[in-house]
Amino acid sequence: MTSETEKTTLRIAVAQLNPTVGDVAGNLAKARAARADAATQGADLLLLTELFISGYPPEDLVLKPAFLKACHRAVEDLAADTADGGPGVIIGFPRQDETGRYNAIAVLDAGKVIAVRDKVDLPNYGEFDEKRVFDQGAMPGPVNFRGVRLGIPICEDIWGELGVCETLAESGAEILLSPNGSPYYRGKVDIRHQVVLKQVIETGLPLLYANQLGGQDELVFDGASFAFNADKTLAFQMSQFEETIALTTWKRHGDGWACDGGPMSHIPEREEADYRACLLGFRDYVNKNGFKNVVLGLSGGIDSAICAAIAVDALGEERVRCVMLPYRYTSEDSLKDAADCAKALGCRYDIVPIEAPVTGFLSALSETFEGTEEGITEENLQSRTRGTILMAISNKFGSMVVTTGNKSEMSVGYATLYGDMNGGFNPIKDLYKMQVYALSRWRNQHVPPGALGPTGEVIPHNIIDKAPSAELRPNQTDQDSLPPYPVLDDILECLVELEMSTEEIVARGHDAATVHRIEHLLYIAEYKRRQSAPGVKITRKNFGRDRRYPITNRFRDRG
Q: pTM of the predicted model, to two decimals?
A: 0.93
Whether residue 107 is found in the same domain as residue 182? yes
In a domain, 152, yes or no: yes
pLDDT of residue 153: 97
The answer to the question of whether 301 is labelled as a binding residue is yes
pLDDT band at 1 (very low <50, low <70, confident <90, very high): very low
- Supply the angle between the helices 302-315 and 332-345 in degrees, to the nearest 10: 10
Pairing relationship of beta strands 219-222 and 175-180 according to DSSP bridges: unpaired
3-class SS at 297? strand
Residue 227: CB atoms within 10 A of its CB come to: 28
Chain CA centroid to CA 360, Å: 41
Contact 500, 507 (CB under 8 A): no
pLDDT surpasses 80 at 3: no
Taking residues 535-550, what's their average pLDDT? 89
Is 179 within a domain? yes
262 has a pLDDT exceeding 90: no
The verdict on 241 and 344 lying in the same domain is no
Domain boundary among 227, 260, 293: 260
Interatomic CA distance for residues 262 and 226, integer angstroms: 9
**pLDDT at position 544, please?**
82
Starting at the edge strand found earlier in the chain, the sheet holding 226-228 runs 143-145, 148-151, 175-180, 207-211, 226-228, 234-237
The mean pLDDT of 289-293, rounded to a whole number, is 96
pLDDT of residue 480: 64
Where a domain ends, among 260, 287, 309? 260
pLDDT of residue 557: 86
Give 341-359 as a DSSP string: HHHHHT-EEEE---HHHHH
Question: Same structural domain for residues 173 and 230?
Answer: yes
Identify the residue with better confidence: 1 or 241: 241
302 is in an annotated binding site: yes
> Based on the domain organization, do 278 and 224 belong to the same domain?
no
Whether 175 has a pLDDT exceeding 60, the answer reads: yes
- A 10 A CB-CB count for 440 gives 22
Question: Does the pLDDT at position 133 exceed 70?
Answer: yes
Query: For the domain that residue 277 is a member of, what is the CATH number?
Result: 3.40.50.620
Let me know whether 334 and 254 are in one domain: no
Based on its alpha-carbon atoms, the radius of gyration of the chain, rounded to whole angstroms, reads 26
Task: Say what the pLDDT of residue 397 is.
Answer: 95
Residues 232 and 348 in one domain: no
**Residue 409 is labelled as binding a ligand:** yes
Phi, psi of 475, deg, nearest 5: 60, 30
- Angle (CA) 106-112-116 rounded to 5° is 25
Q: How far apart are CA 427 and CA 407, in angstroms?
A: 11
pLDDT confidence band for 206 (50 / 70 / 90): very high
Let me know if residue 542 belongs to a domain: no
Mean pLDDT (the chain, rounded): 94
Active-site residue, from 119, 407, 433, 541: 119
Q: Which of 30, 71, 130, 155 is catalytic?
A: 155
Mean pLDDT to the nearest integer, 498-507: 95
429: annotated active-site residue: no
Which residue in 50, 156, 218, 271 is the catalytic one? 50
Q: Is 404 annotated as a binding residue?
A: yes
In whole angstroms, give the CA distance from residue 351 to residue 325. Answer: 6
| Distance, CA of 419 to CA of 403 (rounded, Å) | 10
Q: Establish whether 251 is an annotated binding residue.
A: no
Confidence (pLDDT) at 558: 84
Q: How far apart are CA 338 and CA 426, in angstroms?
A: 19
The response to whether 147 counts as a known ligand-binding position is no
pLDDT > 90 fraction of the chain, expressed in percent and rounded: 87
- Are 525 and 407 in the same domain? yes
| Per-residue pLDDT at 264 exceeds 50 | yes
One domain for residues 250 and 359? no
Asked if 249 and 305 sit in the same domain, the reply is: no
**Residue 287 is assigned to a ligand binding site:** no
Give CA 293 to chain center in angstroms: 20
Would you say residue 449 lies in a domain? yes
Assess whether 246 and 288 both reside in one domain. Answer: no
Q: Give the pLDDT confidence of 401-448 residue by residue, as tens digits.
A: 999 999 999 999 999 999 999 999 999 999 999 999 999 999 999 999
Consult the annotation and say whether 298 binds a ligand: yes
Contact criterion met (CB below 8 Å) for 403 and 421: yes
| CATH label of the domain that carries residue 148 | 3.60.110.10
Rounded CA separation 23/30 (Å) = 10
Last residue of some domain: 240, 260, 280?
A: 260
Same domain membership, residue 277 and residue 251: no
Span between the terminal Cα atoms of the chain, in Å: 74
According to the annotation, is 188 in a ligand binding site?
yes
- For helices 376-397 and 355-365, the axis angle rounded to 10 degrees is 120
Rounded CA-CA distance 508/491 in Å is 9
CB of 123 closer than 8 Å to CB of 130:
yes
Check if 494 is active-site: no
548 in any annotated domain: no
81 by DSSP, 3-state: which? helix
Cis peptide before 57 (omega within 30 of 0): yes
Q: Is 240 helix (H, G, I), strand (E, B) or coil?
A: strand
Residue 307 CA to residue 400 CA, distance in Å, equals 13
Confidence at residue 2, expressed as pLDDT on a 0 to 100 scale = 42
User: Given this model, what pLDDT does residue 6 score?
Assistant: 64
Is 71 labeled as catalytic in the residue annotation?
no
Residue-wise pLDDT for 470-495, tens only, equals 656 676 666 667 899 999 999 999 99
Residue 201 pLDDT > 50: yes
Q: Strands 175-180 and 112-118, how do they pair?
A: unpaired
Domain that holds residue 509: 271-530
Please tell me the distance from the alpha carbon of residue 334 to that of residue 441, in angstroms, as a whole number. 19
Are both 94 and 45 inside the same structural domain?
yes
pLDDT tens by residue, 353-405: 999 999 999 999 999 999 999 999 999 999 999 999 999 999 999 999 999 99
Query: Does residue 81 fall inside a structural domain?
Result: yes
Q: Is residue 536 part of a domain?
A: no
Q: What is the pLDDT of residue 471?
A: 59
Range with lowest mean pLDDT among 121-130, 194-203, 262-271, 415-424: 121-130
Q: Where do the DSSP E strands lie in 2-48?
A: 9-16, 45-47
With a cut of 90, say whether residue 158 has pLDDT above it.
yes
Considering only residues 126 and 229, tell me which one the structure prediction assigns the higher pLDDT.
229
Cα separation, 192 vs 180, whole angstroms:
11
CA–CA dist 375, 362 (Å, integer)? 12
Cα–Cα separations (whole angstroms), residue 81 to 110, 427, 470, 510: 8, 40, 59, 63
Domain count for the chain: 2
pLDDT at 497: 92
In a domain, 557, yes or no: no
Report which residue type is found at 90: I
pLDDT score at 469? 66
Alpha helix stretches (DSSP H) within 398-525: 407-412, 433-445, 461-465, 485-496, 502-507, 512-524
Burial of 507: CB neighbours in 10 Å, binned 0-12, 13-18, 19+:
exposed
Distance of CA 218 to the CA centre of its chain: 5
Q: Say what the pLDDT of residue 404 is.
A: 95
For the segment 7-20, the average pLDDT, to the nearest whole number, is: 96
The C-alpha atoms of residue 276 and residue 224 are separated, in whole angstroms, by 13
